[in-house]
Amino acid sequence: MKFNFRKIASVLSSAVMVSSTVALAAAATYPAPFIKSGQPNVAIVYGQNAPLDLAAVINVNNDLNSRLAGTTSGSSGGSTGSSTVIGGDYVKLHTENDEFNLGESMSSFYSSLDSDNLATVLADGTYENDDNDEFDYTQEISLGKIPLTHFQDSDYNDDKPVIGFNMPDGTFVLNYTLDFNDAADGGNAAFDSLEDTNIKMLGRDYYIVRATPGAGSTGMKIELLDAANSVTLTKDEAQTIQVGDKSYEVTLTYSHSTNGVAFHVTGDGIDFTTDKMSTGDVKKISNDVYLAVKENLAGEGDQDVDQAVISLGTGKITIQQGEEVQVNNEDISDIDKYNDAVVTANIVNSTEHLDSITLSWTVGDDTFLSAGSDALILPGFGTIKLAMGAWNTPKKEMTTLENDGSEKLRVKTSVADGSVQFPLVC
């Protein structure tokens, strides 16, 4: 009899694809948010086996380019412009003398990834509070110790054995941390100087609509709005806002300094009027598109017209010390598309200062990652993608089991030093 065995080679790639914004032309293939206005910032983390690995990177880049060719992006005024791809980062998961092999984990080669590895998405940044004071910060990702194994599971791959990452419910995937070099000054114990400001996390712009200190058993809470598509609306004047490949016309129909603001939204088959909304409120407009009020400017200053600042996009993210991250007031684990995954926030702060924000991601349901399987995407934020490419098997080895007499079998196979054969006693 004969048995074919493939040499266990190094993994072609475990990829982390990162970008800063929502999907446009590539939305059907690349989960949001990989591209904004046709311009993705993509970082690919892949294995040792160049040129095969590099070919995979080139394929991803070429595919993104081909999907975006000829697409356009609109401004709030409705004008369009040509879209281009602007490149990306990558880092190899290996060391000088060690490739990614069976039994090693995602964290075997790097204790953390930072701006030296992913210069765009984990770029060092400077945050400016509402008092115009600046505070430098760094960003990093720490991968979990998830081993690469040969496994079989009745819930995966039609119960066929596969090489990949088998993650039972509760498996830790990664931590993302934004850490201020000198703690950001909140201005006072109410953290008023953090509100109405912008911060860049994971290559994506967010607007801090509220920051509140902890009280009693609760920890500090920060509410972020997607700042990708923000406009200032004047009462009774419509503006067209582009979200992905959809366009919406939004009108500020009601404005009052204390009672709130209301809007009329049309486009993509909808005709929707909101109820009165306050600063920080979010309203679902269509699938995955939310209208959020950043500021109600009614009656402010000497202006003769009422205005409101809104964002139209993925809505609001709420992070609170020791609690699950919420997206549009719903725990991530309760949102069906995230398969019970949990993202927990750890906020370190003092009475008037913010030191750091850490997001910890664990899977919910039993989760699997192997060559050709669906990628894993950081729930709620969507700017980190874990995917595994095919195995590199440059040649086959043949092991034969043959009759070597009435009571013996002979094994023929290959080892590092060449071909060998030896008898087996039955």
pLDDT tens by residue, 136-191:
999 999 999 998 888 899 999 998 888 888 999 999 999 999 999 999 999 999 99
Q: How far apart are CA 294 and CA 225, in angstroms?
A: 8
Indicate the average pLDDT of the chain.
Answer: 76
pLDDT at 31 over 90: no
Share of the chain above pLDDT 90, in %: 41
Q: What is the pLDDT of residue 227?
A: 80
pLDDT tens digits along 66-120:
443 433 332 222 222 222 223 345 666 666 676 677 788 888 888 788 998 888 8
Positive/negative CA dihedral, 291, 132, 320, 110: positive
What are all long-range contacts of 260-264, with beta carbons under 8 Å and residues at least 24 apart? Answer: 260/296, 261/293, 261/296, 261/298, 261/308, 263/233, 263/291, 263/308, 263/310
Q: How far apart are CA 214 and CA 17, in angstroms?
A: 34
- At 61, which helix (H) or strand (E)? helix 52-68
Q: What is the pLDDT of residue 109?
A: 80
**Whole-model pTM over 0.75:** no
Q: What is the mean pLDDT of residues 348-375?
A: 92
Domain range list for the chain: 7-225+316-388, 230-313, 396-425
What are 140's two structure tokens?
């990093």
pLDDT tens digits along 283-325:
998 888 899 999 899 876 555 578 999 999 888 999 999 999 9
Residue 245's pLDDT band, with cuts at 50, 70 and 90, is: confident
